[in-house]
Structure 1
Amino acid sequence: MTTANFSAPVADDRRFIRNLATGMAVILVAGFVVQLAMGRSSFGAPLIVHAHAAVFMGWVGIVLTQVWLAGAGNIALHRQVGKLAAVWALGLVIFGTWVTVAAVQTGRTPFFFQPQHFIIANPLSLYGAIGLLVAAYVMRKQADWHARLQIGSFVLLMGPGFGRLLPMPLLPPYAFEIAGLAALIFPAIGIFYDWRTHGRPHPAWFWGIGVLIAVVVVSRVIGFSPVGEVAYDAVVAGTPLAGTSGLDFPPPPGPPPGA
Structure 2
Amino acid sequence: MAQFAGAGPSKAEREHRFFLAMAATILTLTVIGFAPSYYLRAFIAPPHPMEPLNPLVHLHGLVFSAWVILFMVQAGLISAGKRHIHRQLGILGMLLVAIMIPLAIAVGIAGIDRPLTAPPGIDTLSWAALPLLDVPVFGGLIIAALAMRHRSDVHKRLMLVAMIDMVQPSAGRLIGMSGVPGEAVGPLSGLVVVLLLIVLIVRDWLVTRRFHPAAIIGSAIVVARIVLTPVIWSTPAWMDFARWLSGAG
TM-score above 0.5: yes
Equivalent residues in 2 for 1:79-158 (5 A)? 79-112=87-120, 113-158=122-167
Q: Say if 2:175 is the partner of 1:166.
A: yes
CA distance in 2, matches of 1:75, 1:179: 34
Alignment of 1:20-99 (within 5 A): 20-35=22-37, 36=41, 38-40=44-46, 44-99=52-107
Partners of 1:126 and 1:156 within 8 A in 2: no
The question of 1:176 aligning with 2:182 is answered no
CA RMSD of aligned residues (A): 2.3
Q: Is the 8 A contact 2:110 2:246 kept in 1?
A: no
Pick closer, same or farther for the CA change 1:25–1:209 going to 2, 3 Å: same
- Asked if 2 retains the 8 angstrom alpha-carbon contact of 1:105 and 1:235, the reply is no
- Measured after TM superposition, the shift of residue 205 of structure 1 is 2.1
After superposition, give the CA deviation of every residue in 1:1-55 in whole Å (9 maximum; x if it has no partner): xxxxxxx822221221111111111111111125535401789511111111001
Distance 1:163 1:70 in 2: 30
**Distance in 2 separating the partners of 1:175 and 1:11:** 37
Give the TM-score, by structure 2 length. Answer: 0.84
Q: CA deviation at 1:89?
A: 0.6
Higher RCO (C-alpha 8 Å, min separation 6): 1
Tell me, in whole angstroms, the C-alpha distance in 1 between the residues paired with 2:36 and 2:221. 29
Alpha-carbon deviation of 1:102? 1.3
Is the CA contact (8 Å cut-off) linking 2:113 and 2:124 kept in structure 1? no
Question: How far 1:224 moved relative to its partner?
Answer: 2.2
Q: TM-score, normalised by structure 1?
A: 0.81
* 3-state SS of 1:140 partner: coil
Identity between Structure 1 and Structure 2 (%): 25
What CA distance in whole angstroms lies between the structure 2 residues aligned with 1:177 and 1:89?
27
Structure 1 residue ranges without an equivalent (≥5) = 1-7, 244-259
Aligned equivalents of 1:172 and 1:233: distance in 2? 21
AA partner of residue 199 (structure 1): R
Count of residues in correspondence between the two structures: 232
Q: Is 1:193 matched up with 2:203?
A: yes
Using the alignment, how far apart are the partners of 1:149 and 1:187 within structure 2?
11
Other-structure match for 1:248: none
SS at match of 1:31: helix
8 Å contact kept, 2:175–2:188: no
Which residue is 2:18 aligned to?
A: 16
2:133/2:229 contact within 8 Å kept: yes
Aligned residue number for residue 4 of structure 2? none
Tell me the distance in 2 between the aligned counterparts of 1:159 and 1:185: 11
Q: Distance in 1 between matches of 2:99 and 2:88?
A: 18
3-state SS, counterpart of residue 141 of structure 1: coil
